[in-house]
Each structure stands twice: as C-alpha cells, then as structure tokens.
Amino acid sequence: MAQDRNRLTAIANSLRRIIIRSASGAILIACAGFAKGAMASSTEHAAEPLMPQSLAWALEYLPNYFTNRPAPFHAELFGDLEAEGSRLLARVAPRGHAKSTCASLAYPLWCICERRKNNIAIITHESSLATQFVRDIRSELECNDDLIAAYGDLSEPKQTSGARKSRGKWTDTLLTTSTGVTIQAKGSGAGFRGTRVGPNRPDLIICDDIEKDDRVESRRQRKKLEHWLRRVVMPALAPGGQLLVLGSIIHYDSLLANLCDRAVWPRWDYRVYRALEAETGDDGKFYSTALWPDRWPVDQLHIERERVGTIAFEQEYQANPIDDSIRTFRPEWLQRYDESELDQRDLINLMAVDPATGVSEGDYFAIWLGSIHRVTGIIYTRRLT
C-alpha cells in the first residue's frame, strides 16, 4: 500500500511538472497577482499573459516561501531571468518585497532541479548571508518531499574522475547535486579563481545586496566594488552565462545606481521598481498604487513611511537615496513653532504655487503658504485653512 501510494504521488507530481513546463502555457496571471493553481487553456484566454515557468514552479514546490500572492513585478523578474539572451541584468526593488526569495532561492533552485544551469554562484555583501541562501537551497533538496518525489534525491553528491576536488561536496558553502549541478556562496570582493567546476565556469552569478551601508559611504570603497565587478566577476562568467545584480539603492553614487548608465555600463538590462507609484484615474486625479498590494497595501506603506521616516523610506522603498551635500532642506532645520508667538508686523507673507504641467507627466499640484521674518530671515510654513 505504501509503495503504491508513493508511486501515485510521484506520478501526480510528474503531471504537475508537465503542466508547469508546458510550452502552450497552462498557468495564467490573475488580475491582481497570481493565484496558485489558477489554470486555464491559453487559447481560451488569449489576452491573459502567461506566468513564467519558474514562478509557477516556485508556487508549486515552495509554498512556505510564497504565502502572499505574488505581484506582476515578481513575474517580470522571473520572466526576465528565464528569457533567452538575458545576460547582464540589474534590478532595483524595495526592501521586504521578496526579491531575494525570488532571485536567490526560488530561481536557482528551479535551475538546479530542471538542470538549466551547471555552476551557480550567489554573492552577498557578507559571505555568511550567501551561505544562508545555499543552506536554504540545501534544506529544500534534502527535506522537500514534493521535490524529492518529482526529481529524485539530488542530495547524493556526484563524483567524477575529472573534478573530484570540487565535485562530491555537500556543505553550506558549496554543494554539488547528483546531477552534477554546483552552487556556491561568496562574499562581495572575494576572488573568483577556482570557481570553475570541471569544464564549467559559473553560468549563473547572482549578486544580491552586495553593497554594505558603512562601505558605500566611502568613494574609494564604491570604486573598489565597481572594479571588482568589472574585473573579477564579469570575466568569470561562462560564455552565454547570466549575471544578475539585485538590491536596493543605498547611496546615490552606488554601484547599483550607476549600472543604469549605458555609456559606462553598456549592454546592461536595467529596471527599477518602487513600492509606491502615483497613477492618474479616469477623473484626472492622482492615486497611490502599491507595487505588491497583497503584502504591502498603500495604507501599510504610509504607516511604514511614518515609522521609519521619509528619508529612510525614500531610500529603502522608493530607490531615492538623498545626497546630504545637495539636500535643500536638512531635517535639523525643521522645527515646530506656536502661531501665537508670531507678530504679523514682523512678517512678509508669501504664497507659492507649482501647478501640475499635465496628466501624462505625473506631476503633483502643490501650493505653499508661508511667512519670512523681516529681521531673522526665518521661514515659517503656515497652515492652510
């Protein structure tokens, strides 16, 4: 009975894999995200975009990591990674929006199980963080019953006479599956010599949050990291391999911020996602929209802005770090005052208006009412009534 049950489970999992991998595309994007198991024929819903195979796979085999409905930007990320010819990718995404779960766990695990890659390297600003990703992948390969039923036991290290030193290892920093796929953890700035496994140089390198807050403040450290990416990481990539740089922009002159400059970094596919965007409705008014409404609805993002402060929110969620040297208004300049303390005879009252230039540009209409003290020059922002 137990053997029959295991055999039926394996058959069911195999059928699910066939559905997920079907070229005709059986799993479709839901309007507000992606509902696991929402399947339909592509001919019946021709207008619906297809869910990337790797995302559908992740929803099937990694449900513990995908407890919230993914957003369309998750599908774009998986789809861009799957796309043929996507060699150099840079993606900026907000904190807490599952970018690492998608790119540093689910996608490499899919590549391992489906044998899409031969040699995978995960890099973070601390080697211990990269090690945690490899450890999580190892745990799934060892303990995920659905994965084992569908793909067999991949945790039996493969031994080959041509590369015994690298193959056959099964640790938290380097492991090789029974099918010969290797994944290894690195810290940013580390050397890449010796990362080749047999004839296979790294064909997937994931640089996930490789910049560290204290180091990015130093121009010397920023340039050092740029040189490392250009002179160490990129040359180590196998021909036709894939390099992804992923994270949040933590400095206006950071590596991730500068990768958008095509004159300096040609051939990079660069995209920025922000937690909040302003869109116009049919009535011409502006409305805030959330990047991942199922996890971070607009109201929750406003609460988060109040909790961490505008400057931190702009950096971590809006890809907009502010350069202190060019900041027009500094926080320490802003102080509350009591209206009763003001003598109107000492004030010059002013009003400034910044009209929206048009719906298509997405500008806000702004109005400011204030006063300037004739003697001290202090500017008072007045309350509109």
Q: Does residue 195 surpass a pLDDT of 70?
A: yes
Structural domain includes residue 256: yes
197 shares a domain with 286? no
**How would residue 364 be classed by pLDDT, with cut points 50, 70 and 90?**
low
Q: Does residue 42 surpass a pLDDT of 50?
A: no
Lowest mean pLDDT among 7-21, 28-42, 117-131: 28-42
Mean pLDDT across the chain: 83
Structural domain includes residue 295: yes
Structural domain includes residue 363: yes
Structural domain includes residue 33: no
303 shares a domain with 252? no
291 shares a domain with 263? no
Q: Does residue 58 surpass a pLDDT of 80?
A: yes
280 shares a domain with 256? no
**Burial level of 105, CB count in 10 A (0-12/13-18/19+)?**
buried
Domain residue limits at 368 = 335-381
Structural domain includes residue 134: yes
353 shares a domain with 207? no
Provide the pLDDT for residue 332: 67
Provide the pLDDT for residue 29: 34
**How would residue 326 be classed by pLDDT, with cut points 50, 70 and 90?**
low
Residue with tokens 């994007």: 29
More confident residue, 329 or 289: 289
The string of pLDDT tens digits covering residues 134-168 is: 999 999 999 999 999 999 999 876 554 444 444 45
The string of pLDDT tens digits covering residues 260-307 is: 999 999 999 999 999 998 777 777 667 789 999 999 999 999 999 999
295 shares a domain with 262? no
Domain boundary among 272, 288, 307: 272
Provide the pLDDT for residue 33: 39
Provide the pLDDT for residue 356: 66
180 shares a domain with 114? yes
* Angle between helix 53-61 and helix 72-82 axes, rounded to 10 deg: 120
367 shares a domain with 282? no
Structural domain includes residue 36: no
Provide the pLDDT for residue 291: 97
319 shares a domain with 225? no
Structural domain includes residue 98: yes
Provide the pLDDT for residue 34: 41
Structural domain includes residue 245: yes
DSSP code string of 164-204: TTTTT-BSSSEEE-TTS-EEEEEETT---TT--BTTB--SE
Comparing CA positions, the residue from 218, 213, 191 lying closest to residue 202 is: 191
The whole-angstrom separation of Cα 325 and Cα 251 is: 12
251 shares a domain with 367? no
Task: Give the number of domains in the chain.
Answer: 3
226 shares a domain with 179? yes
224 shares a domain with 88? yes
Q: Domain of 183: which CATH number? A: 3.40.50.300
